[in-house]
Chains A and B, each alone.
Chain A
Amino acid sequence: MEGINQWLVELNKNSPVWFGVVTVLTMAIVGVLMAAIAEVILKIFGVKGEVVERFLSQPGN
Protein backbone atom coordinates (compact mmCIF):
# COMPACT_ATOMS: atom_id res chain seq x y z
CA MET A 1 0.00 0.00 0.00
CA GLU A 2 2.84 2.37 0.93
CA GLY A 3 4.60 1.59 -2.36
CA ILE A 4 1.46 2.20 -4.41
CA ASN A 5 0.79 5.45 -2.56
CA GLN A 6 4.35 6.63 -3.18
CA TRP A 7 4.16 5.71 -6.86
CA LEU A 8 0.86 7.60 -7.25
CA VAL A 9 2.27 10.70 -5.54
CA GLU A 10 5.29 10.66 -7.87
CA LEU A 11 3.11 10.15 -10.95
CA ASN A 12 0.77 12.94 -9.84
CA LYS A 13 3.74 15.30 -9.41
CA ASN A 14 5.79 14.39 -12.48
CA SER A 15 3.26 13.31 -15.11
CA PRO A 16 -0.26 14.74 -14.72
CA VAL A 17 -1.53 13.37 -18.04
CA TRP A 18 -0.49 9.81 -17.19
CA PHE A 19 -1.98 10.26 -13.72
CA GLY A 20 -5.26 11.16 -15.42
CA VAL A 21 -5.02 8.07 -17.65
CA VAL A 22 -4.18 5.79 -14.69
CA THR A 23 -7.16 7.24 -12.78
CA VAL A 24 -9.64 6.44 -15.54
CA LEU A 25 -8.18 2.99 -16.29
CA THR A 26 -8.10 2.02 -12.60
CA MET A 27 -11.75 2.99 -12.10
CA ALA A 28 -12.82 1.20 -15.28
CA ILE A 29 -10.98 -2.02 -14.44
CA VAL A 30 -12.11 -2.07 -10.81
CA GLY A 31 -15.70 -1.23 -11.91
CA VAL A 32 -15.85 -4.09 -14.43
CA LEU A 33 -14.23 -6.50 -11.96
CA MET A 34 -16.67 -5.61 -9.17
CA ALA A 35 -19.65 -5.90 -11.57
CA ALA A 36 -18.52 -9.39 -12.60
CA ILE A 37 -17.97 -10.50 -9.01
CA ALA A 38 -21.36 -9.09 -7.95
CA GLU A 39 -23.11 -10.97 -10.80
CA VAL A 40 -21.49 -14.24 -9.78
CA ILE A 41 -22.38 -13.74 -6.11
CA LEU A 42 -25.99 -12.83 -6.96
CA LYS A 43 -26.32 -15.93 -9.11
CA ILE A 44 -24.94 -18.13 -6.33
CA PHE A 45 -27.13 -16.70 -3.57
CA GLY A 46 -30.40 -15.89 -5.35
CA VAL A 47 -32.22 -15.67 -8.64
CA LYS A 48 -34.10 -12.37 -8.10
CA GLY A 49 -32.26 -10.62 -10.93
CA GLU A 50 -33.00 -13.48 -13.32
CA VAL A 51 -36.66 -13.51 -12.33
CA VAL A 52 -36.92 -9.80 -13.23
CA GLU A 53 -35.06 -10.33 -16.53
CA ARG A 54 -37.32 -13.25 -17.50
CA PHE A 55 -40.39 -11.18 -16.62
CA LEU A 56 -39.22 -8.27 -18.74
CA SER A 57 -38.44 -10.48 -21.72
CA GLN A 58 -42.04 -11.65 -21.86
CA PRO A 59 -44.21 -9.98 -24.56
CA GLY A 60 -46.04 -6.88 -23.34
CA ASN A 61 -43.54 -6.05 -20.53
Chain B
Amino acid sequence: MELPLLGQIYLPISGVEIMGWKLILLGFTVGVIGGFFGIGGAFIVTPALNVFGFPMVYAIGTDMAQMAGKSIIATAKHSKFGNVDMKLGLIMIIGTVIGIELGATVIMCLENVGNADVDVVVRYVYMVLLFSLSGYMLYEYFKLTKEGAVENKTIFDVGKSALALKMQSIKLPPMVNLTVSGFTISIWVILSVATITGFVAGFLGVGGGFLRVPALIYVIGSPTRVAIGTDLFEIMISGAYGAFTYGIKGRVEIIAAVIMLIGASVGTQFGTLATQYPIMLKA
Protein backbone atom coordinates (compact mmCIF):
# COMPACT_ATOMS: atom_id res chain seq x y z
CA MET B 1 0.00 0.00 0.00
CA GLU B 2 1.48 3.33 -1.03
CA LEU B 3 1.44 5.96 1.71
CA PRO B 4 0.05 9.32 0.59
CA LEU B 5 2.69 12.07 0.15
CA LEU B 6 5.58 9.56 0.37
CA GLY B 7 5.31 8.05 -3.14
CA GLN B 8 5.63 9.54 -6.61
CA ILE B 9 3.90 12.91 -6.95
CA TYR B 10 3.27 14.90 -10.14
CA LEU B 11 3.54 18.68 -9.72
CA PRO B 12 1.72 20.29 -12.66
CA ILE B 13 2.77 23.93 -12.24
CA SER B 14 6.48 23.18 -12.69
CA GLY B 15 5.91 19.91 -14.61
CA VAL B 16 8.11 17.94 -12.18
CA GLU B 17 7.66 14.36 -10.87
CA ILE B 18 9.25 13.70 -7.49
CA MET B 19 9.13 11.21 -4.60
CA GLY B 20 7.25 12.76 -1.69
CA TRP B 21 9.61 11.33 0.96
CA LYS B 22 12.48 13.37 -0.55
CA LEU B 23 10.54 16.58 0.06
CA ILE B 24 9.67 15.59 3.64
CA LEU B 25 13.28 14.63 4.43
CA LEU B 26 14.56 17.85 2.88
CA GLY B 27 12.05 19.85 4.92
CA PHE B 28 13.02 18.07 8.16
CA THR B 29 16.75 18.67 7.57
CA VAL B 30 16.37 22.40 6.91
CA GLY B 31 13.94 22.63 9.81
CA VAL B 32 16.64 21.40 12.23
CA ILE B 33 19.36 23.54 10.65
CA GLY B 34 17.09 26.58 10.37
CA GLY B 35 15.83 26.39 13.94
CA PHE B 36 19.38 26.07 15.29
CA PHE B 37 21.21 28.62 13.13
CA GLY B 38 18.32 31.03 12.63
CA ILE B 39 18.34 30.71 8.88
CA GLY B 40 15.77 29.77 6.27
CA GLY B 41 17.95 26.99 4.92
CA ALA B 42 17.25 28.03 1.35
CA PHE B 43 20.91 27.75 0.40
CA ILE B 44 20.32 24.01 0.87
CA VAL B 45 16.73 23.75 -0.38
CA THR B 46 17.00 25.76 -3.61
CA PRO B 47 19.97 23.81 -5.00
CA ALA B 48 18.45 20.53 -3.73
CA LEU B 49 15.15 21.19 -5.52
CA ASN B 50 17.11 22.07 -8.64
CA VAL B 51 18.99 18.76 -8.41
CA PHE B 52 15.64 16.95 -7.90
CA GLY B 53 14.51 18.36 -11.27
CA PHE B 54 12.85 21.70 -10.48
CA PRO B 55 13.74 24.48 -12.93
CA MET B 56 15.79 26.98 -10.92
CA VAL B 57 13.19 29.77 -10.83
CA TYR B 58 10.53 27.31 -9.55
CA ALA B 59 13.02 26.01 -6.97
CA ILE B 60 13.54 29.59 -5.79
CA GLY B 61 9.82 30.43 -5.59
CA THR B 62 8.82 27.13 -3.94
CA ASP B 63 11.53 27.49 -1.36
CA MET B 64 10.44 31.04 -0.53
CA ALA B 65 6.95 29.69 0.16
CA GLN B 66 8.04 26.87 2.50
CA MET B 67 10.45 29.21 4.24
CA ALA B 68 7.64 31.62 5.10
CA GLY B 69 5.63 28.85 6.75
CA LYS B 70 8.58 27.27 8.55
CA SER B 71 9.72 30.59 9.96
CA ILE B 72 6.37 31.09 11.71
CA ILE B 73 7.04 27.93 13.71
CA ALA B 74 10.64 28.79 14.57
CA THR B 75 9.92 32.45 15.41
CA ALA B 76 7.15 31.51 17.84
CA LYS B 77 9.56 29.18 19.64
CA HIS B 78 12.45 31.70 19.78
CA SER B 79 10.10 34.45 20.93
CA LYS B 80 9.25 32.33 23.99
CA PHE B 81 12.98 32.24 24.80
CA GLY B 82 13.29 36.06 24.53
CA ASN B 83 15.49 35.92 21.42
CA VAL B 84 13.45 38.17 19.12
CA ASP B 85 14.27 41.91 18.83
CA MET B 86 11.13 43.00 16.99
CA LYS B 87 12.22 46.63 16.59
CA LEU B 88 15.43 45.56 14.84
CA GLY B 89 13.52 42.97 12.80
CA LEU B 90 10.86 45.43 11.60
CA ILE B 91 13.46 47.99 10.48
CA MET B 92 15.40 45.30 8.63
CA ILE B 93 12.22 44.20 6.86
CA ILE B 94 11.96 47.60 5.12
CA GLY B 95 15.44 47.25 3.61
CA THR B 96 14.95 43.55 2.88
CA VAL B 97 11.72 44.07 0.92
CA ILE B 98 13.41 46.69 -1.28
CA GLY B 99 16.39 44.38 -1.79
CA ILE B 100 14.26 41.29 -2.54
CA GLU B 101 12.23 43.14 -5.17
CA LEU B 102 15.42 44.32 -6.87
CA GLY B 103 16.94 40.82 -6.74
CA ALA B 104 13.79 39.09 -8.04
CA THR B 105 13.53 41.63 -10.89
CA VAL B 106 17.14 40.98 -11.91
CA ILE B 107 16.60 37.19 -11.94
CA MET B 108 13.42 37.53 -14.03
CA CYS B 109 15.33 39.78 -16.49
CA LEU B 110 18.05 37.12 -16.73
CA GLU B 111 15.37 34.49 -17.40
CA ASN B 112 13.90 36.60 -20.23
CA VAL B 113 17.25 37.27 -21.88
CA GLY B 114 17.66 34.40 -24.34
CA ASN B 115 21.40 33.82 -23.92
CA ALA B 116 21.64 33.86 -20.14
CA ASP B 117 21.58 30.46 -18.38
CA VAL B 118 20.00 31.43 -15.09
CA ASP B 119 20.86 28.11 -13.44
CA VAL B 120 24.59 28.53 -14.11
CA VAL B 121 24.72 32.17 -13.00
CA VAL B 122 22.89 31.45 -9.74
CA ARG B 123 25.05 28.39 -9.00
CA TYR B 124 28.27 30.36 -9.42
CA VAL B 125 27.04 33.18 -7.20
CA TYR B 126 26.02 30.60 -4.55
CA MET B 127 29.48 29.00 -4.62
CA VAL B 128 31.37 32.26 -4.23
CA LEU B 129 29.14 33.42 -1.37
CA LEU B 130 29.13 30.14 0.56
CA PHE B 131 32.90 29.63 0.29
CA SER B 132 33.64 33.21 1.39
CA LEU B 133 31.26 33.05 4.34
CA SER B 134 32.36 29.64 5.57
CA GLY B 135 36.01 30.67 5.28
CA TYR B 136 35.43 33.73 7.44
CA MET B 137 33.44 31.84 10.06
CA LEU B 138 36.10 29.13 10.29
CA TYR B 139 38.73 31.81 10.84
CA GLU B 140 36.54 33.38 13.56
CA TYR B 141 36.06 29.97 15.25
CA PHE B 142 39.79 29.19 15.40
CA LYS B 143 40.58 32.71 16.63
CA LEU B 144 38.05 32.37 19.49
CA THR B 145 39.23 28.87 20.38
CA LYS B 146 42.78 30.20 20.65
CA GLU B 147 41.63 33.13 22.83
CA GLY B 148 39.69 30.74 25.03
CA ALA B 149 42.72 28.50 25.46
CA VAL B 150 44.87 31.48 26.45
CA GLU B 151 42.30 32.71 28.97
CA ASN B 152 41.52 29.13 30.10
CA LYS B 153 37.76 29.39 29.56
CA THR B 154 35.10 28.35 27.03
CA ILE B 155 33.78 31.26 24.98
CA PHE B 156 30.00 31.02 24.41
CA ASP B 157 29.48 34.11 22.24
CA VAL B 158 31.71 35.98 19.79
CA GLY B 159 31.09 39.30 21.54
CA LYS B 160 31.30 42.50 19.49
CA SER B 161 33.63 42.50 16.47
CA ALA B 162 35.77 45.54 15.66
CA LEU B 163 33.53 46.18 12.62
CA ALA B 164 30.38 46.08 14.77
CA LEU B 165 31.87 48.56 17.25
CA LYS B 166 32.74 50.85 14.33
CA MET B 167 29.20 50.56 12.90
CA GLN B 168 27.67 51.30 16.30
CA SER B 169 29.87 54.37 16.61
CA ILE B 170 28.30 55.93 13.48
CA LYS B 171 26.09 58.70 14.84
CA LEU B 172 23.91 59.35 11.79
CA PRO B 173 20.37 60.15 12.99
CA PRO B 174 17.86 58.84 13.49
CA MET B 175 19.44 56.56 16.10
CA VAL B 176 17.51 53.50 17.31
CA ASN B 177 17.70 52.14 20.85
CA LEU B 178 17.47 48.33 20.68
CA THR B 179 16.60 47.19 24.20
CA VAL B 180 16.55 43.45 23.46
CA SER B 181 19.92 43.54 21.66
CA GLY B 182 21.30 46.01 24.22
CA PHE B 183 22.73 48.89 22.15
CA THR B 184 21.91 52.00 20.11
CA ILE B 185 22.70 52.20 16.40
CA SER B 186 21.97 54.39 13.37
CA ILE B 187 18.90 53.30 11.40
CA TRP B 188 20.90 53.77 8.15
CA VAL B 189 23.35 51.00 9.14
CA ILE B 190 20.46 48.61 9.71
CA LEU B 191 18.75 49.58 6.43
CA SER B 192 21.98 49.25 4.39
CA VAL B 193 22.73 45.78 5.74
CA ALA B 194 19.12 44.72 5.15
CA THR B 195 18.97 46.01 1.55
CA ILE B 196 22.18 44.26 0.53
CA THR B 197 21.19 40.94 2.11
CA GLY B 198 17.67 41.36 0.69
CA PHE B 199 19.03 41.79 -2.83
CA VAL B 200 21.07 38.58 -2.50
CA ALA B 201 17.98 36.84 -1.08
CA GLY B 202 15.78 37.87 -3.98
CA PHE B 203 18.45 36.99 -6.53
CA LEU B 204 19.31 33.57 -5.12
CA GLY B 205 15.85 32.74 -3.84
CA VAL B 206 17.02 32.40 -0.27
CA GLY B 207 15.83 33.96 2.95
CA GLY B 208 19.24 35.57 3.28
CA GLY B 209 19.62 34.17 6.79
CA PHE B 210 23.02 32.65 6.06
CA LEU B 211 24.15 36.21 5.25
CA ARG B 212 21.94 38.13 7.65
CA VAL B 213 22.78 36.23 10.85
CA PRO B 214 26.54 36.80 10.38
CA ALA B 215 25.76 40.40 9.39
CA LEU B 216 23.68 40.88 12.57
CA ILE B 217 26.49 39.41 14.68
CA TYR B 218 29.62 40.80 12.99
CA VAL B 219 28.40 44.06 11.39
CA ILE B 220 25.53 45.25 13.61
CA GLY B 221 26.79 43.58 16.81
CA SER B 222 23.74 41.65 18.07
CA PRO B 223 24.24 38.83 20.59
CA THR B 224 24.17 35.49 18.75
CA ARG B 225 20.88 34.21 20.25
CA VAL B 226 19.13 37.49 19.43
CA ALA B 227 20.58 37.47 15.91
CA ILE B 228 19.11 33.98 15.38
CA GLY B 229 15.64 34.78 16.73
CA THR B 230 15.40 38.21 15.11
CA ASP B 231 16.48 36.84 11.76
CA LEU B 232 13.81 34.16 11.89
CA PHE B 233 11.22 36.86 12.62
CA GLU B 234 12.43 38.78 9.60
CA ILE B 235 12.49 35.70 7.38
CA MET B 236 8.88 35.07 8.34
CA ILE B 237 7.85 38.45 6.92
CA SER B 238 10.27 38.65 3.99
CA GLY B 239 9.63 35.00 3.09
CA ALA B 240 5.91 35.76 2.86
CA TYR B 241 6.66 38.75 0.63
CA GLY B 242 9.03 36.68 -1.52
CA ALA B 243 6.43 33.90 -1.79
CA PHE B 244 3.82 36.47 -2.90
CA THR B 245 6.19 38.02 -5.47
CA TYR B 246 7.14 34.67 -6.97
CA GLY B 247 3.50 33.51 -6.70
CA ILE B 248 2.38 36.44 -8.85
CA LYS B 249 5.09 35.51 -11.34
CA GLY B 250 3.65 31.96 -11.38
CA ARG B 251 6.81 30.27 -10.06
CA VAL B 252 5.61 28.56 -6.85
CA GLU B 253 4.77 24.84 -6.53
CA ILE B 254 2.45 25.08 -3.50
CA ILE B 255 1.96 21.32 -3.01
CA ALA B 256 5.74 20.76 -2.81
CA ALA B 257 6.09 23.67 -0.37
CA VAL B 258 3.38 22.24 1.92
CA ILE B 259 4.97 18.77 1.93
CA MET B 260 8.38 20.26 2.83
CA LEU B 261 6.73 22.31 5.55
CA ILE B 262 5.36 19.18 7.21
CA GLY B 263 8.91 17.85 7.57
CA ALA B 264 10.28 21.26 8.57
CA SER B 265 7.74 21.73 11.35
CA VAL B 266 9.16 18.68 13.16
CA GLY B 267 12.80 19.52 12.50
CA THR B 268 12.42 23.12 13.68
CA GLN B 269 11.37 22.02 17.16
CA PHE B 270 14.63 20.13 17.69
CA GLY B 271 16.82 22.82 16.14
CA THR B 272 15.28 25.63 18.21
CA LEU B 273 15.51 23.76 21.51
CA ALA B 274 19.16 22.96 20.87
CA THR B 275 20.07 26.69 20.83
CA GLN B 276 19.17 27.02 24.50
CA TYR B 277 21.43 24.26 25.86
CA PRO B 278 24.69 26.29 25.72
CA ILE B 279 23.04 28.80 28.09
CA MET B 280 22.09 26.05 30.52
CA LEU B 281 25.59 24.56 30.24
CA LYS B 282 27.08 27.97 31.10
CA ALA B 283 25.15 27.89 34.38
Contacts and interface: CB of A to CB of B under 8 A. Distances in A.
Contacts of A34: 69, 73, 261-262, 265
Contacts of B45: none
B243 interface: yes
A44 interface: no
A50 to B, nearest CB: 10
Contacts, number: 116
A31 to B, nearest CB: 3
Interface residues on B, range: 35 or more
Contact of A53 (B66, B80, B249): B80
B266 interface: yes
A23 B69 CA distance: 10
A19 B246 CA distance: 10
A42 B266 CA distance: 10
B245 interface: yes
Secondary structure of the A contact surface, majority rule:
helix
A24 B80 contact: no
Nearest to B68: A27
A4 B244 contact: no
Interface residues of A, number: 34
B104 interface: no
Contact of A5 (B72, B82, B255): B255
B279 A16 contact: no
Contacts of B128: none
B135 interface: no
Contacts of A56: 81-82, 276, 279
Interface in B31-80: 65-66, 68-73, 76-77, 80
9 contacts: A1-B4, A27-B243, A27-B258, A31-B265, A32-B72, A35-B72, A52-B273, A53-B81, A61-B279
Interface of A: 1, 4-6, 8-9, 12-13, 16-17, 19-24, 26-28, 30-32, 34-35, 37-38, 42, 48-49, 52-53, 55-56, 61
